[in-house]
């Protein structure tokens, strides 16, 4: 007797692909195109090693008692001590040279009164990934994430999402994603630099400005992009022609004006258009946000400039609430303060602390999830007291939660359009690099606004089955003769655009 076929395991990737299959069925996606898109083109897993620095690790109060009569070490070169978010201190340069160091069994006491164990720097190995999902429409494109909770499965889901997003944004790229399994807040500046350079040393054979173009994501930023660019182009004769190897760079070294805020700006443009369509405005609306990093803080800033009021924020370290409205400028300054090592909203004086679970009960017009995936679970979806969810994060809503939101009449602006502002301006950066041009912020914002709103309107038309051509957009070739939910509509737009490349160009043999 034959054993029954095993039930396919449910993973982040299979969950993320549910919407792909639903949309593919609805439009009867060409079978071969479906096979091409179901799995990534390439999945790279590799390892990055780096030599860590010596560090001081604080002892618990109980253990520190053993050293109660240990005198304080007077540190001459305080600049050399780098305090990390987890309380460890990296010894940079010759931090303790010339100091009166009193070490007992590898322990010393600093002027802060705490006892630290001196841990010599050793070499460490980190797991790294790059998934290249699809390049039918152009070079692979997608961010690099430095985070403790990453996996091949997660990067597959995020890379596929980039394929859909670049098609929706109508930029000539495919999809990719990658990163390192690491909590960057536990490493010093020079360690992160060494890990990043080694990462690019390994990545170099897989990517290129016309092959695969990384960008910032969770835990990475323009500083990391600068290091990646340098390592990629080091020693190359035409290094100025290689600037397009990464996007999201500082504007002073070939980044684009408006890129840093672009994802948050795109989220805000979508929300603005959502209300404009209903004859309303963002002004006077209230919102709550999860994640106050790049996407969350810029979205909050721009929405508040549009006249909306921020009521609550949750991040990795805690949640804050103020029913009268949180001053977003003051909150951004608080989070950016170098003394705020965790870059957290926690402790902000202009709001009270609440529990994370209470965030979902705050009554507001809009929720912007802008942290990690899978946060809006079925439970959360049942509790939410908002009217609109605008997904700044990638994959924040589980498929069960999606169905509950729909049943409860909570509207959705799905991630693949809502957060497409980042990759859209990354494309502008890439063009500027290729052409050696420099566009103004106003020009970038204007192009971005048109691109976001044009594609969002096409998605709304698909959803309502309202084919039409206006001065701004043309949805006639995308509507499918029946109404569908917005997430499915966005996927239909992506798949129709990708399918056209395969069907018109054919398949190489």
Cβ-based nearer residue to ligand NAD, 29 or 490: 490
Binding of residue 451 to ligand NAD (CB under 6 A) = no
Binding of residue 139 to ligand NAD (CB under 6 A) = no
Binding mask 357-376 for ligand NAD (x = CB under 6 A): -------------xxx----
Per CB under 6 A, the list member of 88, 419, 424, 486 interacting with ligand NAD is 419
- For the bound state, the minimum distance from the C-beta of residue 342 to ligand NAD, rounded and expressed in Å, comes to 8
Cβ-based nearer residue to ligand NAD, 263 or 397: 263
Cβ burial of 34 (10 Å; 0-12, 13-18, 19+) is middle
End-to-end CA distance of the chain: give it in Å, rounded. 39
Quick one: which of 294, 25, 28, 37 has its CA closest to 175?
Answer: 37
The Cα–Cα gap between 437 and 509 comes to 38
Residue nearest to ligand NAD (CB): 293
Per CB under 6 A, the list member of 314, 322, 398, 424 interacting with ligand NAD is 314
Cβ-based nearer residue to ligand NAD, 292 or 478: 292
Per CB under 6 A, the list member of 41, 257, 272, 315 interacting with ligand NAD is 315
Residue 477: count other Cβ atoms within 10 Å of its Cβ. Answer: 11
Binding of residue 135 to ligand NAD (CB under 6 A) = no
- For the bound state, the minimum distance from the C-beta of residue 141 to ligand NAD, rounded and expressed in Å, comes to 11
Quick one: which of 356, 346, 363, 352 has its CA closest to 377?
Answer: 356
Residue 345: count other Cβ atoms within 10 Å of its Cβ. Answer: 28
Q: Interface residues for ligand NAD in 215-244 (CB under 6 A)?
A: 216-219
Cβ-based nearer residue to ligand NAD, 219 or 414: 219
Per CB under 6 A, the list member of 53, 293, 386, 455 interacting with ligand NAD is 293
What secondary structure does DSSP assign to 7-61, as a single string? PPPP-HHHHHHHHHHHHHHHTT--HHHHHHHHS-SEEEEEEEEEEPPPEEEEPPH
Q: How many residues bind to ligand NAD according to rule CB under 6 A? A: 23
- For the bound state, the minimum distance from the C-beta of residue 393 to ligand NAD, rounded and expressed in Å, comes to 3
Whole-number Cα distances in Å, 243 to 145, 166, 252, 253, 443: 20, 20, 12, 8, 21
In degrees and rounded to multiples of 5, residue 155 shows phi and psi of -65, -30
Cβ-based nearer residue to ligand NAD, 196 or 294: 294
Q: Examine the residue annotation and report whether 177 is marked as an active-site residue of this protein.
A: yes
Cβ-based nearer residue to ligand NAD, 115 or 270: 270
Longest distance between any two alpha carbons in the chain, whole Å: 81
- For the bound state, the minimum distance from the C-beta of residue 180 to ligand NAD, rounded and expressed in Å, comes to 14
Cβ-based nearer residue to ligand NAD, 97 or 253: 253
**Rg (Cα) of the chain, in Å, rounded?**
24
Q: How many residues does the chain have?
A: 509
Binding of residue 40 to ligand NAD (CB under 6 A) = no
Binding of residue 48 to ligand NAD (CB under 6 A) = no
Q: Interface residues for ligand NAD in 160-219 (CB under 6 A)?
A: 216-219
The Cα–Cα gap between 479 and 484 comes to 10
Alpha helices in 140-210 (DSSP H): 152-168, 189-203
Binding of residue 424 to ligand NAD (CB under 6 A) = no
Binding of residue 294 to ligand NAD (CB under 6 A) = yes
Binding mask 262-281 for ligand NAD (x = CB under 6 A): -x------------------
- For the bound state, the minimum distance from the C-beta of residue 170 to ligand NAD, rounded and expressed in Å, comes to 16
Cβ burial of 332 (10 Å; 0-12, 13-18, 19+) is middle
Pick the catalytic residue from 141, 156, 177, 285.
177
Cβ neighbours for 283, distance < 8 A, ≥ 6 positions apart:
306, 307, 308
Cβ-based nearer residue to ligand NAD, 135 or 294: 294
Quick one: which of 127, 107, 128 has its CA closest to 118?
Answer: 107
Three-state secondary structure call for residue 410: coil
Binding mask 375-414 for ligand NAD (x = CB under 6 A): -----------------xxx--------------------
Half-sphere exposure of 78 (CA within 13 A, CB side): 4
Interacting residues with ligand NAD (CB under 6 A): 216-219, 263, 290-296, 314-316, 370-372, 392-394, 419, 422
Q: Please identify every residue annotated as catalytic.
A: 177
């Amino acid at each position: 007797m034959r054993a029954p076929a095993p039930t396919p395991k449910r993973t982040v990737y299979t969950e993320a692909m549910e919407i792909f299959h639903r949309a593919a069925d609805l439009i009867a996606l060409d079978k071969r195109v479906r096979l091409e898109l179901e799995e990534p083109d390439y999945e790279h897993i590799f390892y990055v090693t780096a030599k860590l620095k010596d560090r001081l690790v604080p002892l618990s109060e109980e253990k520190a008692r053993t050293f109660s009569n240990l005198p304080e070490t007077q540190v001459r070169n305080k600049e050399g001590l780098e305090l990390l978010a987890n309380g460890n201190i990296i010894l940079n340069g010759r931090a303790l040279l010339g100091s009166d160091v009193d070490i007992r069994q590898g322990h010393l006491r600093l002027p802060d009164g705490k006892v630290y164990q001196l841990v010599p720097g050793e070499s460490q190995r980190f797991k790294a990934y790059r998934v290249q999902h699809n390049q039918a429409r152009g070079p692979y494109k997608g961010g690099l994430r430095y985070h403790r909770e990453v996996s091949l499965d997660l990067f597959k889901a995020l890379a596929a999402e980039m394929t859909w997003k670049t098609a929706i944004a109508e930029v000539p790229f495919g999809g990719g994603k990658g990163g390192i399994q690491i909590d960057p807040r536990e490493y010093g500046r020079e360690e992160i630099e060494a890990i990043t350079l080694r990462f690019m040393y390994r990545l170099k054979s897989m990517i290129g400005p016309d092959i695969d173009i990384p960008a910032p994501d969770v835990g990475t930023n323009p500083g990391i992009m600068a290091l990646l660019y340098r390592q990629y182009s080091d020693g190359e004769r035409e290094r100025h022609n290689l600037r397009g190897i990464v996007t999201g760079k500082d504007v002073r070294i070939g980044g684009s004006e408006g890129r840093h805020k672009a994802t948050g700006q795109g989220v805000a443009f979508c929300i603005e258009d959502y209300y404009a369509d209903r004859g309303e405005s963002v002004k006077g609306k209230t919102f709550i946000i999860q994640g106050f990093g790049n996407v969350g803080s810029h979205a909050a800033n721009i929405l508040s400039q549009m006249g909306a009021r921020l009521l609550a924020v949750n991040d990795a370290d805690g949640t804050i609430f103020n029913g009268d409205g949180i001053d977003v400028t003051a909150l951004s300054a608080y989070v950016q303060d170098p003394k705020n090592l965790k870059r957290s909203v926690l402790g902000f004086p202009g709001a009270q602390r609440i529990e994370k679970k209470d965030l979902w009960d705050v009554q507001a017009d809009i929720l912007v999830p802008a942290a990690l995936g899978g946060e809006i679970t079925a439970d959360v979806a049942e509790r939410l007291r908002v009217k609109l969810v605008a997904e700044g994060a990638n994959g924040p809503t589980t498929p069960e939660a999606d169905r509950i939101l729909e049943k409860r009449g909570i509207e959705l602006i799905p991630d693949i359009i809502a957060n497409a502002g980042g990759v859209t301006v990354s494309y502008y950066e890439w063009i500027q690099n290729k052409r050696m041009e420099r566009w103004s912020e106003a020009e970038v914002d204007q192009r971005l606004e048109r691109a976001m709103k044009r594609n969002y309107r096409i998605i709304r038309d698909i959803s309502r089955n309202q084919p039409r051509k206006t001065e701004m957009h043309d949805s006639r070739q995308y509507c499918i003769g029946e109404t569908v939910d917005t997430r499915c509509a966005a996927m239909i737009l992506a798949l129709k655009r990708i399918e056209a490349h395969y069907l018109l160009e054919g398949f190489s043999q």
